């Protein structure tokens, strides 16, 4: 090194029978050397000094060390150097009238001749000692290389490392450790929005409904008050967007029952899932059965699993979207409809089912207008019929409200805080981690006296049963493949707190009433597709109910570099942080050729020449001209009337490819099971 170059720091660290010396210059070049001291009459003095290289050592003059020390702005001795060696160094430096200060440094750095001072604010605990952040990051990176975590997950762990300053604690997260201070990602705080509560006795409802509410409440909840203040009981159409468990359902019940009891038509309450329809049917029958007849319509069958028949003349019809759409497609008379409640209306953005809900809304509005002998009036409602759309999660509510021609009632209160946690576990570890979380939660009681119960979301029915069997506390699988009586048994057991957990697929995401305090994501996929931000928020929103719990807890169990199908983009750890940080996607209706053909065919079947008007009022932009051309080509329509083939296709909700596969199988006399297999293969490929 040139003597003209200033020496910023000369650092000495004891090692073996000598010392490592690191010299830092102001041009950021460094010298790494080895020093040995010898005994002289004047005291210890440099005896050997050699520059260190990968290939060995290059001897330097011993007095070269003294030259560098004299030019150094500061001389520092590592605290990790033994007392005897430190005393020897100080004696040697005193002989040259040089001052040195002992400092805490990173041993990893010192061991390779790097000067890296540390403080209590920067030191990281590692293997019983303290090291610098750079070395800690390198150690963590080496560990992460064995787990194939994404860059996003790695950044999260690096942030935790600097935050908690303990390498082992952070590395333990990769093996499913549940240190809550480390797994906690954030907290969604409980929020309140100032809303003047509406007294129940001021509502002026029909006496039958009014007396029910008078017995239950003194004032309405905030979102209910907002809806009433914005015309919910005056027949106005509304899109109500508010978090889970804030009381949206009662808005539809108040409006629908009041109109029904005042002779203004029956109420339809529509939901996306059979499990949810069954629960709403039971609730409505219990609460309102003495005031009105209640029936249910799910799917194409007019007979339920328990033998009860669908009654189209009932006062209250609870149905799935497809159940009511099928009734329209086959021309069934649903009577005079005064109120339609569409629950979980964000289903519109679902790639597979959104177009069917969009078509159903248009067809049902057309039915109501024709039945009432009028056209849309007021704020866009079908004449004589009020429309209420409910959702906890909509990314673009103003746009959707305009498309639905409804007033927007948006309420952003969260009744209880929700802690969100992330921990890493591979497929084998997830069951063990879930078991520990379920036990820990069930062993707690809220201030309201309720045990903590858990909903575990996973991606397949098989996994539901597999995981529920591995939980030590009583748990049950719950999914659409269970028969009606089994689902009701599970619902009753959970309500009675006889179950610590239910393990489910999407069946519970849309609001089946399980008052859970904790939600665990065993998987971030449904089938072979990653969850959307909307779906994720719908599911995590099941954690924590204000009447039962003080807070909600969400755990996302992430398999580094994991996925469930080769077609899935990214990995589970990447998906986890995308969902946790993500903004709600806007509802955006996307019509490909297949969905456009299905909805236009249904509109033609229901409305004939009026199909164009129905299609134009749909939320999505449906390419009708192209769809009509395809329908003519497929011979599903003749003019604007369905052919017998087209009528069969629309009644069974078939897409054209599946219909032609079935026709081909019938014409060739193929085994029906082979035809079904061919259709399944088509679905898998698409």
pLDDT, tens only, 356-393: 999 999 999 999 998 876 544 444 444 589 999 999 88
Strand partners, 199: 219
Strand 641-642, strand 637-638: pairing: antiparallel
What is the C-alpha to C-alpha distance for residues 2 and 611, in angstroms, rounded to an integer?
A: 89
Coil, strand or helix at 234: helix
CA atoms within 13 A on the CB side of 524: 33
Note the pLDDT of residue 331.
93
Given a cut of 50, the residues of the chain with pLDDT beneath it are 1-3, 303, 375-382
Residue 582 structure tokens: 């993500």
8 Å CB contact between 411 and 222: yes
Note the pLDDT of residue 142.
87
pTM across the whole model: 0.74
Query: Tokens 């005994």 appear where?
Result: 39
Note the pLDDT of residue 560.
81
What is the C-alpha to C-alpha distance for residues 288 and 396, in angstroms, rounded to an integer?
A: 34
Residues whose CB is less than 8 angstroms from the CB of residue 94 and which lie 6 or more positions away in sequence, other chains included: none
Note the pLDDT of residue 107.
81
pLDDT, tens only, 233-268: 999 999 999 887 788 999 999 999 999 999 999 999
pLDDT, tens only, 593-643: 999 999 999 999 999 999 999 999 999 999 999 999 999 999 999 988 999
- Angle between the 321-329 and 593-607 helix axes, to the nearest 10 degrees? 50
Note the pLDDT of residue 5.
63
- Angle between the 593-607 and 644-651 helix axes, to the nearest 10 degrees? 110
Q: What are phi and psi of 578, to 5 degrees?
A: -65, -40
8 Å CB contact between 357 and 321: yes
Note the pLDDT of residue 108.
85
Residue 91 structure tokens: 């004696």
What is the C-alpha to C-alpha distance for residues 179 and 255, in angstroms, rounded to an integer?
A: 48
R_g of the chain computed on alpha carbons: 35
Q: What share of the chain is helix, strand, coil (3-state, %, to 5)?
A: 40, 25, 35
């Amino acid at each position: 090194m040139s003597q003209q170059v200033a020496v910023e720091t000369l650092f000495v660290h004891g090692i073996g029978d000598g010392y490592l010396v690191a010299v830092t210059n102001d041009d950021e070049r460094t010298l790494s050397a080895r020093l040995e001291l010898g005994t002289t009459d004047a005291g210890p003095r440099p005896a050997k000094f050699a520059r260190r290289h990968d290939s060995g050592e290059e001897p330097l003059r011993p007095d070269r060390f003294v030259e560098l020390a004299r030019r150094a702005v500061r001389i520092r001795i590592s605290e990790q150097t033994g007392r005897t060696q430190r005393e020897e160094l100080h004696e040697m430096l005193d002989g040259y009238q040089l001052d040195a200060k002992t400092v805490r440094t990173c041993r990893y750095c010192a061991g390779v001749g790097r000067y890296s001072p540390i403080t209590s604010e920067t030191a990281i605990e590692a293997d019983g000692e303290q090291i610098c952040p750079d070395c800690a990051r390198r150690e963590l990176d080496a560990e992460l290389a064995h787990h194939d975590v994404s860059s996003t997950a790695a950044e999260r762990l690096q942030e935790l490392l600097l935050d908690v300053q303990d390498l082992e604690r952070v590395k333990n997260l990769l093996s499913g450790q549940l240190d809550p201070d480390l797994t906690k990602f954030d907290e969604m705080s409980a929020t309140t929005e100032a809303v003047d509560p509406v007294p129940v006795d001021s509502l002026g409802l029909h006496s039958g409904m009014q007396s029910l509410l008078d017995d239950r409440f003194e004032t309405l909840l905030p979102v209910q008050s907002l809806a009433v203040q914005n015309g919910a009981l005056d027949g106005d159409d509304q899109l109500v967007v508010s978090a889970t468990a804030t009381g949206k359902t009662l808005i539809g019940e108040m409006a629908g029952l009041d109109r029904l009891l005042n002779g203004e038509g029956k109420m339809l309450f529509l939901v996306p899932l059979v499990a949810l329809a069954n629960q709403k049917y039971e609730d409505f029958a219990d609460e309102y059965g003495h005031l009105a007849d209640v029936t249910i319509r799910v799917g194409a069958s007019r007979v339920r699993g328990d033998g009860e028949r669908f009654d189209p003349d009932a006062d209250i019809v609870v149905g799935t979207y497809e159940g009511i759409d099928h009734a329209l497609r086959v021309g069934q008379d649903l009577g005079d409809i005064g109120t339609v409640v569409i629950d979980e209306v964000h289903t519109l953005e679902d790639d597979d089912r959104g177009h069917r809900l969009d078509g159903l809304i248009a067809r049902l509005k057309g039915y109501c207008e024709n039945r009432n002998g009028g056209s849309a009036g007021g704020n866009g409602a079908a004449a004589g019929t009020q429309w209420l759309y409910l959702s906890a999660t909509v990314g673009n509510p103003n746009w959707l409200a305009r498309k639905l021609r409804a007033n927007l009632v948006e309420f952003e209160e969260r009744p209880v805080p929700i802690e969100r946690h992330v921990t890493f576990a591979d497929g084998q570890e997830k069951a063990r981690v879930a078991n520990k979380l379920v036990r820990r939660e069930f062993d707690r009681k809220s201030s309201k006296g309720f045990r903590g119960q858990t909903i575990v979301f996973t991606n397949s029915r098989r996994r539901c049963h597999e995981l529920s069997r591995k939980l030590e506390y009583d748990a049950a699988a719950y999914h659409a493949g269970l028969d009606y009586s089994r689902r009701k048994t599970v619902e009753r057991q959970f309500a009675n707190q006889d179950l610590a957990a239910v393990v489910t697929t999407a069946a519970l995401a849309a609001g089946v009433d399980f008052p859970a305090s904790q939600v665990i994501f065993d998987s971030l996929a449904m089938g072979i597709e990653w969850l959307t931000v909307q779906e994720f928020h719908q599911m995590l929103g099941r954690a924590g109910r204000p009447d039962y719990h003080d807070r909600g807890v969400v755990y996302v169990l992430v398999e580094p570099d994991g996925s469930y199908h080769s077609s899935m983009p990214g990995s589970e750890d990447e998906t986890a942080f995308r969902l946790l940080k993500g903004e709600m996607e806007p509802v955006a209706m996307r019509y490909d050729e297949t969905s456009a053909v299905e909805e236009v065919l249904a509109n033609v079947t229901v409305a004939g020449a009026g199909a164009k008007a129905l299609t134009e009022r749909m939320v999505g932009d449906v390419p009708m001209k192209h769809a009509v051309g395809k329908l003519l080509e497929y011979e599903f329509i003749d003019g604007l009337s369905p052919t017998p083939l087209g009528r069969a296709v629309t009644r069974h909700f078939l897409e054209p490819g599946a219909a032609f596969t079935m026709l081909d199988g019938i014409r060739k006399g193929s085994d029906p099971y082979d035809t079904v297999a061919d259709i399944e293969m088509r679905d898998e490929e698409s």
